[in-house]
């Protein structure tokens, strides 16, 4: 079993910044993983925001956040981060952390690519 615990959400004005964290734990969390951030706004489908391969650090971003968001990984703490700068009202959503065991990188941003999910943390950006 793998447990993912997100934190760091909140309410900010447009142009502001937030840093999300996701701590992974559990007896099945070993080796290398793809870990990612997804988000889901009301009445919209869940979409992949950014991913990272814990074995080598390769990253992938959705076009809407590239250049504004940065995903990173602290391997010693089994924690990933999402630094979000230049936030916009359209970034408002519930943000979820996800994980899946992978032997190699190239972590996709599809929901079907991940089998462990956190409970989510709310990000609200006011314009």
> Could you report the per-residue pLDDT of 96-108, keeping only the tens digit for each?
999 999 888 789 9
Whether 15 and 125 have beta carbons less than 8 Å apart is answered as no
pLDDT at 29: 83
* % residues pLDDT > 70 (the chain): 100
pLDDT tens for 13-68 read 999 999 999 999 988 788 889 999 999 999 999 999 999 999 988 999 999 999 99
Give the number of other Cβ atoms within 10 Å of residue 102's Cβ.
18
Q: How many CA atoms lie within 13 A of 27 on its CB side?
A: 1
Q: Which helix H or strand E contains 35, and what residues bound it?
A: strand 33-40
Cβ distance 125 to 87 under 8 Å?
yes
């Amino acid at each position: 079993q793998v447990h993912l615990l997100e934190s760091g959400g909140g309410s900010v004005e447009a142009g502001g910044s937030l840093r999300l964290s996701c701590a992974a734990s559990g007896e099945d969390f070993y080796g290398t993983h793809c870990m990612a951030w997804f988000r889901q706004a009301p009445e919209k489908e869940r979409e992949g925001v950014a991913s990272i391969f814990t074995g080598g650090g390769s990253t992938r971003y959705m076009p809407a956040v590239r250049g504004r968001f940065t995903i990173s990984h602290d391997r010693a703490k089994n924690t990933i981060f999402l630094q979000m700068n230049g936030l916009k009202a359209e970034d408002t959503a519930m943000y979820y952390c996800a994980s899946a065991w992978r032997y190699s990188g190239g972590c996709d941003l599809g929901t079907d690519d991940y089998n462990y999910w956190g409970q989510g943390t709310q990000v609200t950006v006011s314009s």
